Chain A
Amino acid sequence: GAVVSQHPSWVICKSGTSVKIECRSLDFQATTMFWYRQFPKQSLMLMATSNEGSKATYEQGVEKDKFLINHASLTLSTLTVTSAHPEDSSFYICSARDPYFDEQYFGPGTRLTVT
């Protein structure tokens, strides 16, 4: 099946710094990627939809200036958490949509801890 990777798998940063998370589709081209946030023992909450070559679409309540998304190529989307705070600590998961099968493939997630 299709593979989606995320890097890093976990990161610890200090409050006020920025962190970049990469999401790559390894064996297919994804015009659309999605970024989710998962709190412990809770479901995935869609943060934004990332479209290659255009601005991301953010869900209600998600600060676009805080969670910067760039989808520069058909295989790479990045999420930058700017000026991170402890409440941003979470598990961030990306998915990539394979347009041929109209199916989303999920990355392994990135655990962010802000101290």
Chain B
Amino acid sequence: AQSVSQHNHHVILSEAASLELGCNYSYGGTVNLFWYVQYPGQHLQLLLKYFSGDPLVKGIKGFEAEFIKSKFSFNLRKPSVQWSDTAEYFCAVNAHTGTASKLTFGTGTRLQVTL
């Protein structure tokens, strides 16, 4: 079975600082990778996804993530965070096991951006 690890549980940054959130997964086969964001009081929204092709994926709101297959990683980055980026971020993996859309989520990273 696949698993997802997010090592940063709570990150506090000042506005304009750069962000990198770690995500590692455990699965030996082909995977689809996702980053979701959950703003306070709101539902999960897709930030970006990787299915195949260019391992550097650009998403909404200036976020990007890089898939490094050799490291089983899919870290999320943003060059300059804003206060409005304060939210919970979840990495998720969809392993190609036949139940193609069965997502496994990481434990989440709470990002707090201060002014």
Contact = CB atoms under 8 A, between A and B. Distances in A.
Contacts, number: 43
B101 interface: yes
A97 B101 contact: yes
Interface residues of B, number: 19
A60 B44 CA distance: 24
A4 B43 CA distance: 10
B43 A49 contact: no
Nearest to B103: A104
Contacts of B44: 44, 93, 95, 106
Interface in A58-115: 93, 95, 97, 102-104, 106-109
Contact of B43 (A42, A45, A46, A108): A108
B103 A43 contact: no
A35 interface: no
B12 interface: no
Contacts of A4: 43
Interface in A1-32: 4, 32
B47 to A, nearest CB: 12
Nearest to A3: B43
Interface of A: 4, 32, 34, 41-46, 49, 57, 93, 95, 97, 102-104, 106-109
Interface of B: 36, 42-46, 49, 90, 99-108, 110
